Every structure is written in C-alpha cells, then in structure tokens.
Chain A
C-alpha cells in the first residue's frame, strides 16, 4: 500500500535516469542517512567502535570486491592484500608529509592500492576463473610478505605492530569513536554513491558485458584491457581506502598480519552472502558476516555459561560459516540482496494478493 509506483510518472529523460526513481526509495534513503548520522547520539562507544565502524569499513571493502567479482566477473582472493597496501600507504603518507589532511591521505592510499591492483590485474588479461583466483592469491601472499620484510614501509619499527597516527583534519583531531564514526560514514557514503552510479552507467555496463561473456564484449567493441584493468583499479581503490580506514578508525594499529588470507576469505563470503553484483548486498553481507560471530558468542554464553572453550566456539563458527555459504549458493545464489528485492516486490502488491 505504501510502497508502489502508481501515480509517479516520468516525463523527462532526467527523471527517467534518476538514481532512485521511486519517491518511497528517496524518502527511505533520506531517513536511513539521517538515522546513520544521528546514531552516535544513541549508541554507546562499544557499539560505535566494535560494530558500526567495522561494519561500514568492511562494507566498503566488500563493495570493492563486489565491483571486481560481482560486476566485472573476475574472481579474486586477494582483497586483504590491497587493504594492506591502503593501510600502509596511509601510514607512510601521514608520517612523511607534514600536515596532510586525513581525507587526502586516505584518497591517495586508495590510489596507491589502485596502482598495485593494476599491476596484479595484468594476468587477468590472459587468464580467467580459477587461474585468476590463484594469481590473486599470489598477490595476497606477496604483498603481505613485502610489507613485512622491507623495513621502510614500517618506518623501521622494531615492534612489528605500529600504532596508527591520530586522524587529523582541518586542525581538528578526530579522537573519539563518535567522531571517527562520522568520518568513516562520510567517506563510505560518498564512495557507495559513486559505486552505485558507476554500476548503473556505461562503466558498469562494460564490466557486466565482460563478466557475462568476455569474447562477445570484445567483439562489441569493449576494450578488454581497459575494462578489466579499470575494474581492478577501482576495486583496489575501494579496498585500499577500506584498508586505511580499517587500520586507522577500527584497529588503531597498522600491521601486515591483520590482512591475512583469512580476511580475504571473509570478504569473499560477505559478497557471496550479501549478493553478487549489488551495492546493497555489500552492506548486508558485511553486516551479516561481522555480526554473526558476535551473536553466536552471546548465544553460547547465555546457553552454556562461560565454560565454553573459545576454540570450540571459533571452530563451530567456522562450520556455520561454511554451511551458510553452501546453503546460499544452493538456495539463494543472489544472496541477501535478492531477498530484499523479493520483499520489495511483495510490498508493491501488499496487502492484495495480485
């Protein structure tokens, strides 16, 4: 009853190509944004720093992975490696350039990650699918190794774990979780909007053409070199920005071991569970993968008390993750985003049957 397009006419091209053609969607997004901005006034700092900030950051990374995997169809297992590039680039930029605003440093670290992404995306021109997955695995191992081995990246810090510098912009130090959350929210919102527009524009159509059939796309005039490397670059940019935020706003430390292959897998799972080739899915998937272990923990503690061994819960968590992945692939390959779409379809008719 509430959610329907009846009576909303599009009378110009500009209206037809709106990002949210439905009034209800626009209102919904506006409410969501306002709610997200106001949230710190309600949520305590545990919620902000342990759940909301990582959720937003990981959504951004999942978005990057989704651009590469869901839109451009290039299977990648190395997203955590690009995150590491972003994190270390940000650390070095702030360290070596005096008074650089945090946002500029983050953007530049995204650019660094994009450059690295282009280099490691080169094999994708010759190989696809499984072979590419292995090639990206190479980048994952190589990047983490290189960041660990060459002291320059860590400013010859002997401890191995570096404390991230404070987030400083326009002479203000964003130190509290609330302020950090706003910084992250602003960056993620802008980049998500950008991704949405790229995905529905000519860039995204190029990616999807390559995903669906690269030979056919090439015949139609898409340059494979350009399209694929573009996807790699933009995806790595998102991962790099995400990595910088992950290290500076969430972990507060910069260390290579935080960006291991486990994280890559978790990001892959976010995209699969959230929904391949959707912007929405990246957010849903990231939330799901992030929150599920927390809920499981709470559940175990309330069910069995404190006696449960941490190794058992983590093993159980692993099993549940694996089962979920398989279930989603079998029953809902398009992920949580598809469920949301189905709900919307239902809503359009509700409360009538047809």
Chain B
C-alpha cells in the first residue's frame, strides 16, 4: 500500500515540523501568560538569537562557549525589553502593547542585520537533514533525522517548562503574576524580576527554536516569517495554554503539509503560506478561546 505509506510520511513530516512551530509558539505563550503581552517580536528574537549564535561561532568561539554567550545575550535583550519597553507601558491596553512589540521586532531585526550582516548563514549542528535509514528500510518512509531530533528537543523543552511552572517557587510566582498582577504584587512577588525572568526564558526558547530552524533552512531573515506561522498555532491552542499550543502546533504542521501535498496541486500550490491562518480563522469562528484557552468573559 504505497499510498498509505506516502500519506503517513507526509503526516509524520507535518507533525514533526509542527513541533517546531509549537516551540516558537511556546515563547509567545510564556510571555503572554505572565504579562498579557502578545510579543510580536518573538520571531525577531528567534532570528536575532540564532544569528548571534552563528556570528559568535564565526568569530572563533567553539560551540560550547557560543551557546552560553548567546544565552547571556538573550537574557540581556529580555531584560532590556522589560526595562525600556514594557515598564513604561505598564497598564496600557493589549493592543498598544502589541503595537509596541511590533516596533520592538523592527528594532531587533534591524540591530541583528547591523551587527551580523544580511548573508544567509549555514548552521551545522552535526545532525544531518537526511532520512533515517532503518525507517526507510522497514516502511519506505522518508523521516528526517533533524526533524526527529527537533521534535525530541522540543519535547524536552516543554517538559522542562511545565515542571518549572508547576513545581518550583519561581513557577508559582509566574502563575500568580499571570492570574493577577496587582494581587501578586500585593503579596510580595517581585513583579519586575518575574517579568525579566519570563523574557529571558522566552529568549532562550527563541534561541533553541532558531537553532533548529536554522539548521534546517539556513540562518536567514526568512526565519522571522516562520515565527509568524506560530500565530495560528497560538490561536488554535489558546494564548494561555502550554499543552494547547503543543497540540495546535501538531495540528497546524500536519494540516499544512497534507494540504500542500494533497490539495495544493489542484489550486496551483503555495497554499502553505496561508492555510494555517485560514484554519485559525475558521477555528476562531467556532471556538474563540482556542482549544484549552481560558474562556473569555467580557463585562461592561
């Protein structure tokens, strides 16, 4: 049954790339949960992080040294964002904050290009984007090593973050802040530190996501658009739910690939570019709060 295996191959490929979307979307959720900021600059952060990483390696730093340096840099970026963009805008509407992060995205993209240039870089993580042999022998499916690794890394990140949220003091603080800033502040949770921490974590998540994407498709400006693909993932999963985002990432990845391969040829191809968004819009019409998002209750 070659057709069945082909379908399965497309499905698995979609699911695996879906985990990478989920990883990018995770950065959004982290920040949104803690500060109700929809961080449009997450894509720019992904780009900046991995570009800096490659840049440091080009400057002669070995892998193990470039990693902590980049992590440090991303923490600085996160702290700077909190201090210079979010703190002055505290208590503004969500729309205002969104627009501010669009501005931030421009700044980060510009700085990244000023600092490291605009050339497409290659990032070699030592994992090749080749099919795994024994899967191919057994079933005839082409499943990339890189995709599987990326999925594993994404899984580990998610598990670590879930543990952080549910089992540590910091995580409790994060959840308290997410529920109600003022109440959290009044019982002595250091809001500023929490926000810095969240932005720094989001920066690290951005780095990991960027490395995985970069290893696959080259380190280039287009990574910013990859991150935009995380938006429908967020919509479907709900802005505040980590498991929702994971599931939505898988759904979006799978539908995008299946749509492109099986429906695309009938309309001239290239529907990958918008099919996730359309899916998200349809989803919104039926269930505006997403899969696991909190129900939106509006009061006058």
Contact = CB atoms under 8 A, between A and B. Distances in A.
A325 B102 contact: yes
Contacts, number: 130
A127 B88 CA distance: 28
Interface in B203-251: 228, 231-232, 234-235, 239
B11 interface: no
Contacts of A141: 273-274, 277
B5 to A, nearest CB: 30
A333 B106 contact: no
Contacts of B118: 311, 315
Residue among B95, B117, B234 having the largest count of chain A Cβ atoms under 10 Å:
B95
A214 B102 CA distance: 25
Contact of B274 (A122, A127, A142, A333): A142
Contact of A123 (B94, B228, B281): B281
A75 B300 CA distance: 20
Contacts of B103: 321-326, 329
Residue among B96, B100, B271, B288 having the largest count of chain A Cβ atoms under 10 Å:
B100
Contact residues on A (Cβ < 8 Å of other chain), bracket: 35 or more
B125 interface: no
Interface in A69-91: 75
A247 interface: no
A107 B55 CA distance: 52
Interface string B6-21: 0000000000000000
Contact residues on B (Cβ < 8 Å of other chain), bracket: 35 or more
B280 interface: yes
B235 to A, nearest CB: 5
Interface string B266-300: 01111101100110110011001000000000111
Interface string A206-220: 000000011110010
B110 A130 contact: no
Contact of A317 (B84, B89, B110): B110
A219 B298 CA distance: 13
A325 B280 contact: no
B277 A137 contact: yes
B153 to A, nearest CB: 26
Contacts of A265: 102, 106
A325 B239 contact: no
Interface string A257-286: 000000001001000100000000000000
Given A323-B107, A325-B99, A325-B102, A134 B277 contact: yes
Nearest to B41: A322
A323 B106 CA distance: 8
Interface in A317-354: 317-326, 329-330, 333
A300 to B, nearest CB: 13
A20 interface: no
Contacts of A129: 94-95, 98
Contact of B95 (A75, A137, A317): A75
Given A138-B281, A326-B100, A316 B114 contact: yes
A272 B106 contact: no
A167 B258 CA distance: 45
Contact of B88 (A145, A272, A320, A330): A330
A131 B106 contact: no
B284 A126 contact: yes
A115 to B, nearest CB: 18
Given A130-B38, A134-B232, 12 more contacts: A131-B284, A134-B235, A145-B273, A149-B267, A213-B300, A311-B113, A315-B118, A319-B111, A322-B104, A325-B102, A326-B104, A329-B99
21 contacts: A126-B288, A129-B98, A131-B284, A135-B277, A138-B281, A142-B278, A149-B268, A215-B300, A216-B300, A265-B106, A272-B99, A311-B113, A315-B109, A315-B111, A318-B113, A319-B110, A319-B111, A319-B114, A324-B103, A326-B84, A330-B89
